[in-house]
Structure 1
Amino acid sequence: MILDIFFPNRCIHCNRIIEANLLVCNLCFEQIHFTYYHYFEDNFVKEKCKLLFPIENAFALMQFEKENLSRKIIHELKYKSRENVGKILADWTTERLDFKNEKPDLLVSVPLHPKKLKERGYNQLHLFTETLSNFYKIPFSHDLIKRNHYSKAQALKDKKHRIETENIFSITQKISGKHILLIDDVFTTGNTLSTVAWEILKAGNNKVSVLVMAMDE
């Protein structure tokens, strides 16, 4: 296409010209710090979640260190209007995550407040979740959880505000006896995931597992 000639897709890290469906070049891909966590085994995400709520299993795709490439990837997804990054991250996830014969019943993404959704134009978790749903043949819901209050991004909050527990989420429909895989972008303090998880657990005899794009250690 003409646009590809005059405005070629470039690696977000080194600026090399790359294929239109890629995010980084092969050389920079090697610099991404994948976690190599196993979903069914104890790992750093699961241990952190255990301190906050009852959890079954957990998985994080990448490490979210201060200056590493995964941080740049997440920022491209959330703040640079590159919703397609969600599909790329989902493809990387499917190459590394095996549910075996114990798939969750439902994939649930953490919601944005309608005001934030309007500002951003999309929820950065939706395409990611839908791609996983299609690959693993697990249904998803983007509206099981409702965010009741508008708040600024976790990355822009100071530590005091991030650890405050607010009742900002609610369940929109009756659900019981389900194993929910709760999906978010970055695990920081775990406060957001904990708040959502407790709403799911209180709603009925449910179980919760967690999947995040990146883990901030």
Structure 2
Amino acid sequence: MILDLFFPNRCIHCNRIIDADLLACSLCFEQIHFTHFDYFTENIIKERCKLLFPVENTYALMKFEENGLSRKLIHELKYKSRENAGKTLAGWTTERLDFKEEKPDMLVSVPLHPKKMKERGYNQLHLFTETLSAFYNIPFDHELVKRNHYSKAQALKDKKHRLETVNPFSISKSISGKHILLIDDVFTTGNTVSSIAWEILNAGDNRVSVLVMSVDA
């Protein structure tokens, strides 16, 4: 392709020219700290979630490190118009996560407010979620959860402001008796997933598990 010739894809870490469908070169890929969590047993996300809401299972693909490659990957996905990075991250997830015989009933990603969606042009979690849906044969619903308020990104808020946010989400339709896998990019305080989880739990006899691209450990 002519565009590939004049604007070659480069590793997001070392800037080396790489294949068009890659995010990082092989050397930099080795620097990504994958968690190797077991979805069904105790891990740091489950420990934190248990303090906030009843949770079934939890999983994180990577450890989020301020100066590490995982942060660059998430930044490229969210702020650099690299929506297709979500598909790559989903591929890495499917290589490592096995639901065995206990697949959730539905995949639900954290929504953006319509204004933020218009500004960014896409929800960074949608392609990631849809790729997982196709691989595991689990339906997804991008409309189940609505964000009620427009606000700046969680990463740009101080901790006190994050804790003061009240009822930022709501459920748009009736749902009961389902095991929902809630998907987000970075797990920090857990307040975002907790807010959504309680809406899902209070909507009916539902259960909630959590999957994130990275966890701030």
TM norm structure 1: 0.99
In structure 2, the partner of 1:213 is 213
Does residue 27 (structure 1) correspond to residue 27 (structure 2)? The answer is yes
* CA deviations over 1:74-129 (Å, ceiling 9, x no partner): 00000001000000000000000000010000000110000000000000000000
Alignment of 1:123-138 (within 5 A): 123-138=123-138
Does residue 99 (structure 1) correspond to residue 99 (structure 2)? The answer is yes
Does residue 46 (structure 1) correspond to residue 10 (structure 2)? The answer is no
In structure 1, the partner of 2:18 is 18
Does residue 89 (structure 1) correspond to residue 96 (structure 2)? The answer is no
Percent identity over paired residues:
78
In structure 1, the partner of 2:62 is 62
Name the amino acid aligned to 2:54. P
- Give the Cα–Cα distance (whole angstroms) in 2 for the partners of residues 66 and 90 of structure 1: 21
- Give the Cα–Cα distance (whole angstroms) in 1 for the partners of residues 20 and 151 of structure 2: 34
Secondary structure in 1 matching 2:170: strand
Q: CA deviation at 1:159?
A: 1.3
In structure 1, the partner of 2:36 is 36
Which range moves more in the overlay, 106-115 or 164-173?
Answer: 164-173
- Give the Cα–Cα distance (whole angstroms) in 2 for the partners of residues 196 and 125 of structure 1: 15
- Give the Cα–Cα distance (whole angstroms) in 2 for the partners of residues 159 and 168 of structure 1: 16
Secondary structure in 1 matching 2:211: strand
- Give the Cα–Cα distance (whole angstroms) in 2 for the partners of residues 164 and 181 of structure 1: 25
In structure 2, the partner of 1:175 is 175
Given that residues 148 and 169 in structure 1 are in contact (C-alpha distance below 8 angstroms), is that contact kept between their aligned partners in structure 2?
yes
- Give the Cα–Cα distance (whole angstroms) in 1 for the partners of residues 207 and 143 of structure 2: 18
Name the amino acid aligned to 2:9. N
Name the amino acid aligned to 2:34. F
In structure 1, the partner of 2:73 is 73
Name the amino acid aligned to 2:164. E
Q: CA deviation at 1:164?
A: 2.0
- Give the Cα–Cα distance (whole angstroms) in 2 for the partners of residues 70 and 47 of structure 1: 22
Name the amino acid aligned to 1:22. L
Name the amino acid aligned to 2:56. E
* Structure 2 gap segments, 5+ residues each: none
Secondary structure in 2 matching 1:209: strand
Does residue 7 (structure 1) correspond to residue 11 (structure 2)? The answer is no
Q: CA deviation at 1:163?
A: 1.9
Aligned residues: 217
Secondary structure in 2 matching 1:149: coil
Secondary structure in 2 matching 1:163: helix
- Give the Cα–Cα distance (whole angstroms) in 1 for the partners of residues 165 and 81 of structure 2: 29
State the 4+ residue runs in structure 1 displaced beyond 4 angstroms: none
- Give the Cα–Cα distance (whole angstroms) in 1 for the partners of residues 140 and 60 of structure 2: 19
- Give the Cα–Cα distance (whole angstroms) in 1 for the partners of residues 142 and 116 of structure 2: 15
* Structure 1 gap segments, 5+ residues each: none
Q: CA deviation at 1:162?
A: 1.6
- Give the Cα–Cα distance (whole angstroms) in 2 for the partners of residues 164 and 190 of structure 1: 13
